[in-house]
Chain A
Amino acid sequence: MNIENVFKNLEKLNLKVDNSSKFFETITTYQGGTKSLFKKLEELNNNVHKDIDYEKYEEKLIEYLDKIQSSINKDSLFNLTDEEYIKNFKISYQKIINKNIYIHRLEDERNLNKENLNEIEKIKNNIKEVKGSYELSKLHSEYQRRMKQVQTSTTKIEEYDKKVETNSKKISYPTLIDELLKDCSKLTEHLKNLTLTKETKDKVNNILMDMAKYFSEERTNIKNELVDYLELLDRAGLQKNINLEQKEEIELPKTVVKETPMDIKEKEVEETKEEPKVEIKETSLKVGDIVYYNGTQAYDNYSDTSRLDIEEPYKITKTGFDEKGNEIYYLDGNNYPVSVTLLETEYEKFNKNTSLHKGEKVYFSGIRDYNKYKDNLEIGKEYTIEKATLDEKGNEIYFLEGIDNPVSVTSLLTEYRWNEYMESLVNKRVINVTNPSKEVNKKELYAESLTNIVEKPTIGLSIKKAFSSIINKVKTCIEEIKQDLTIPEEEVIQNHKTR
């Protein structure tokens, strides 16, 4: 390789010579020659600058969480008595899921937008061809509807994009993985407080261990790739073209990974609530971090929730661990420790783990609440979310404009889902209303209709019994009607006269 090509290749890789003598020594002595050196540099350069493969980690994360969920479900988690522990576990679990929600929602919106833009293009073409004014007006309405959806989607895409940018894209691979590992560690902490059978606990611990192992191996690989790259740059006398911040992150000592879920393997998890001794040398929150009280109840004997205000921001002044290894924090203005399970970060507070958010348009799904939230929503009416939050059990609840009571997420549909729902209702639309062409025997028809309804498999026994108690009367009634219809007219008149 001549010198001109050498510099061309350096430029291509965005590399500059820092130490000429080192550089020329390396390119002349590198095993396999200059070409080999550049091939290696290119390979490592690509590795350390590659984009974060969120999808891969999301898939892996969801896979692990699904496994955990199904293991716990088998133990009838929701019938257990230790509500507080279950709540804390569920909150932590939900937080992990929701970290990825914007990415999915962004993708959904982009797909919807694409679909609408395609439709708009088709409509435009149709408008050119159609001549009838009725058809034109129909197409125009459809065009306007699609355009409106595109505008809404565009706003949402911008919003989600911003959130994804803020929350995900700026963090590097190692930071992302560290975050996942911290979550994994928190889950382990909560898990040990659940009254699960030994078998389930072991199973879930094993899943958490696998999860931690997978992510820590990923982290090690990334670290190794970066170290190799930096070493090669140094050896070749080239300037480091890698972000210093990223490098520092890589070099930070990370103990959480090895000392939380990984160590559980060595501990025997008992059927009782006895905590496994898990050593954590690094707290997930740091001195100076701003935190909020998350409104949950303390299950330890030192956190005093009565002195915490949900709306008040607190600065962490001291971090540590209690005798059970749980993270504890001292907050500015308070001289008593608070457990980590009672706190949430500023981000978590203002980006509540809800799938819908303030300002979003929603529709009633038609599903009534099965819990305490009594709604009185109308099908087909558009509502705007005024406040999105979670209740004490971690269920998503929403305050809607003009509606006094909170509404559960199960009762709501997004605009997109609503439109889908409406499309599915094509066959339920009333096309025409007419009067019957012949006289109808109301009682007979009523009886037949009820018979059909009562025969439905979802109708309860009490209704069936109530119906059968009056059915004889109905039958008699029908028989009488039928007899009346079969008696010759003269006889009816005669009978009437003799009465």
Chain B
Amino acid sequence: MSVDTIVTLGENKRYYLVDETIQADKKYFLGTRLKEDDNPTPESEIFEEFKANGNYYLTPVIEEEKLNSLAAIFLAKFKKLLEEE
């Protein structure tokens, strides 16, 4: 899976993968849920990607400490993106 693609999960939930980061060999995505017309909803998640039984899964990170550190990482990446202008 890669950034700037739209993934469809179960129950037809579609997320735009805004950015990614790799921490301790694990891939995390910042994703925003999309409406049917591809416009973003106010629902975003930081997902952990893992592969099992030949399938990819995206599970929302809910563990407080991990979520905070990943949020900080994406925040820093976003800041850098703005500064690049």
Contacts and interface: CB of A to CB of B under 8 A. Distances in A.
A459 B58 CA distance: 20
Interface in A426-484: 426-438, 440, 442-443, 445-450, 452-454, 456, 458-460, 463, 466-467, 470, 473-474, 477
A387 interface: no
A288 B14 CA distance: 69
A432 B13 CA distance: 10
B10 A426 contact: yes
B53 A380 contact: yes
A446 B16 CA distance: 10
Nearest to B2: A433
Given A428-B10, A428-B57, A430-B1, A445 B32 contact: yes
A374 to B, nearest CB: 10
Interface in B33-60: 38, 40, 42-46, 48, 50-53, 55-59
A366 B75 CA distance: 24
A311 B10 CA distance: 52
B32 A432 contact: no
Contacts of B1: 430, 433
A446 B81 contact: yes
A422 interface: yes
A460 B70 CA distance: 12
A438 B38 contact: yes
B30 A453 contact: yes
Given A380-B53, A422-B52, A438-B38, A431 B10 contact: yes
A367 interface: yes
Contacts of B44: 448-450, 452-453
Contacts of B82: 443, 470, 473-474, 477
B78 A435 contact: no
Contact of B38 (A431, A436, A447, A454): A436
Given A425-B59, A453-B45, A458-B64, 17 more contacts: A376-B24, A428-B9, A430-B8, A431-B10, A433-B5, A434-B6, A434-B8, A435-B5, A436-B4, A436-B5, A447-B78, A449-B31, A449-B44, A453-B30, A470-B75, A473-B82, A477-B85
Q: Which 8 A-B pairs have the closest CB atoms?
A: A380-B52, A427-B10, A452-B44, A379-B50, A432-B8, A430-B56, A449-B44, A449-B32
